[in-house]
Chain A
């Protein structure tokens, strides 16, 4: 079991529809391949953590890195982990029109992102908290990781 964390910049701002399509596509593909994790998006900033079998997520990351919708893909960490910290795959962003989204499965408003799971090591929890801060900015109220509390 490995996890990969990366950050990137969207080539152009993603519309609500883009985001919803991305959510649908990733939910479907990730569920099929048993990939879990979380994606943060705001104002063109993207960060994602994926966890799963290295034989699945390594090629998945290669595909993600080649995706023309974003650039400046920076892999921050890629290493073995003792077990999953996320039970499914979800996505957190600010839609322009939030009505249609709140009921969607796997969708979260940035301020609803649950605390960084305790199963992560403190170094990894710090990493996730830093990427979340980098994507959503320091002023979005988020629940800090209980590891760091």
Chain B
């Protein structure tokens, strides 16, 4: 009964218990837990070797050893693959057991068998393995952190509440050039620039006392003795609920940035100083066109502050009639990016308006779009120009008046001349002269009168043509203009029985002022007829052609008396200069031709042989 009760307890124990009997290790008592461990099939009296279920070969061998040697053995955390025959494909979950092998002896101390005792230690084993993995991971993270802190271009450090350095990364040694044996706490403060030392130490001490982080800049001596600007930042590590025990931080070199921003600040200050020193109105505007800076002189000139002027107030300084156009132009420039330029009157603080050239250009760089503008006072130049313009206008008017006077005078003199001629005719008809040279004298008077008449006519023509120099040009048919001119000269043509040949097909038309063309043709043709040789019928050839330079030209060739040409072509056809004293004329004609051609960029050429004829070549535009 007692034994039976004991067996029942053993059978249901949560640890595995079994007895293996004899050298063959035959199954004896196997409780439920052990049965499950061994795979369920444990026929009593059968050797373990033949029904070992999930038991590994090495364990079987160890059991036999224990049996033979009689020395107990404990296999710690021995893994069993739980083999559930019901679920052959299920993932085999490993379980761990502490396996105690105890030799059993009979009363005579002879080996009788083995007592097997298995305790499930899977939980402990897994926890141990997790702890192992965790420590590996921690080591890995620690290594990574160390690599990172030691490769970053910064000095990293840990300092305790008393300000003693707990850790400093190797960069500190590289930077300072100090040996690894250096006493950090003693040396570090000495390497800080004397001007910054007190401030830096105070900042750090104050932050530690207050239990907060810090961030400040100071100069630290580099290995080469140069002081470099460093940024020191640190944060406290809080061990709740107590006060912080460590500060972790980094020291970064910010020397170049600091220098650069210093240079930029200085550069900007210098530019501003420059802009403020220039006696011009200088301003800048945003990409949208709002003025955000006016220089000192703008304030001096306008008497208004930048605040009062505002982003668009400049337009109100202009003369009210010009404001709208100036504003429109500015809106357009801002939209298109085109340069702004204009001449405007701008009001000075005393109310006087002065002429200014306003110019602005857009600058696009990495800092975005900006406008830079300047208003240059050109009032004095502008006034000077106005004075010059007034004088010029006056001169032009005087000139016109002179022309008018000449014209009027020549016209007014015509009537007395006409009267004189009439009286002279009457005198000749009625009076008789006793002088033997009467005929000669009469002829001379007649000639003088004709000459006077011609001079007056030509003077009038000169003035008239002068006014037409600036006449608009049109495409003219040379033949029709020539025929018109010849019609006017028909008396002269008949007088010398002239033949006129027109050869115009090479350049039949010409873009020129109509009156000017007529005047040129009239003068050249009347010239050719005037100097006709009385011994032979006159022959005039007119040829229009294209020159070597591709420009139109006109040749007027006669077979008249010809003339001696002087060497100096510059003084060739002066006003009232007569080429041929035997022929009547006022000497105005060729001067006029010259003037007309000059005004259109052309010139006149002449070749002549006495007794054979003269050739004029008109280069209209060259």
Q: What is the interface of chain A, defined by CB distance below 8 A to chain B?
A: 7, 76-77, 79, 121-127, 129-131, 133-134, 138, 144, 147-149
Contacts and interface: CB of A to CB of B under 8 A. Distances in A.
A123 B324 contact: no
Given A130-B288, A130-B290, A124 B324 contact: no
Contacts of B310: 76-77, 79, 123, 127
Contacts of B335: 133, 138
A79 B316 CA distance: 15
Given A77-B310, A149-B324, A130 B289 contact: yes
Interface of B: 287-290, 310-316, 323-324, 327-328, 330-331, 334-336
A147 B312 CA distance: 14
B312 A148 contact: no
A133 B327 contact: no
B330 A126 contact: yes
B331 A148 contact: yes
B330 A134 contact: no
Given A122-B316, A148-B324, A7 B288 contact: yes
Contacts of A126: 312, 315, 327, 330-331
A134 B313 CA distance: 18
B311 A77 contact: yes
B316 A123 contact: yes
Contact of A127 (B287, B311, B336): B311
Given A76-B310, A122-B315, A133-B335, 15 more contacts: A76-B290, A76-B311, A77-B311, A79-B310, A122-B316, A122-B324, A123-B315, A124-B312, A127-B290, A127-B310, A127-B311, A133-B289, A138-B335, A138-B336, A148-B327
Nearest to B289: A130
Nearest to A77: B310
30 contacts: A7-B288, A76-B290, A77-B310, A77-B311, A77-B312, A79-B310, A122-B323, A122-B324, A122-B327, A123-B312, A123-B314, A123-B315, A123-B316, A124-B312, A125-B327, A126-B315, A126-B327, A126-B330, A127-B312, A129-B327, A130-B289, A131-B288, A133-B288, A133-B335, A134-B287, A134-B289, A138-B335, A144-B331, A147-B324, A148-B327
A55 B334 CA distance: 35
- Interface SS, B side: helix
A103 to B, nearest CB: 32
A77 B288 CA distance: 14
B617 to A, nearest CB: 57
A76 B287 CA distance: 14
A131 B287 CA distance: 11
Given A7-B288, A123-B310, A130 B315 contact: no
A121 B323 CA distance: 10
B79 to A, nearest CB: 59
Contacts of B313: 123
A148 B328 CA distance: 6
B315 A133 contact: no
A130 B324 contact: no
A133 B334 CA distance: 9
A129 B315 contact: no
Contacts of A127: 290, 310-312
A138 B335 CA distance: 5
A138 B337 CA distance: 11
Contacts of A129: 327, 331
Contacts of B287: 134
A27 B64 CA distance: 98
A136 to B, nearest CB: 11
A76 B289 CA distance: 11
A144 B328 contact: yes
Question: Which has the most chain A C-beta neighbours within 10 Å: B288, B290, B312, B334?
Answer: B312
Nearest to B311: A76
A4 to B, nearest CB: 12
Nearest to A7: B288
Contacts of A122: 315-316, 323-324, 327
B316 A121 contact: yes
Contacts of B336: 138
A146 to B, nearest CB: 9
Contacts of B288: 7, 130-131, 133-134
A119 B543 CA distance: 71
Nearest to B325: A148
Contacts of B311: 76-77, 127, 130
Contacts of A130: 288-290, 311-312, 331, 334
Contacts of B331: 126, 129-130, 133, 144, 148
B197 to A, nearest CB: 41
A122 B320 CA distance: 9
A127 B324 CA distance: 12
A149 B331 CA distance: 12
Contacts of A76: 290, 310-311
Question: Which has the most chain B C-beta neighbours within 10 Å: A124, A130, A147?
Answer: A130
A147 B323 CA distance: 9
A10 to B, nearest CB: 16
Query: Which 7 residue pairs are nearest across A and B when measured between Cβ atoms?
Result: A138-B335, A134-B288, A126-B327, A127-B312, A126-B312, A122-B323, A130-B289
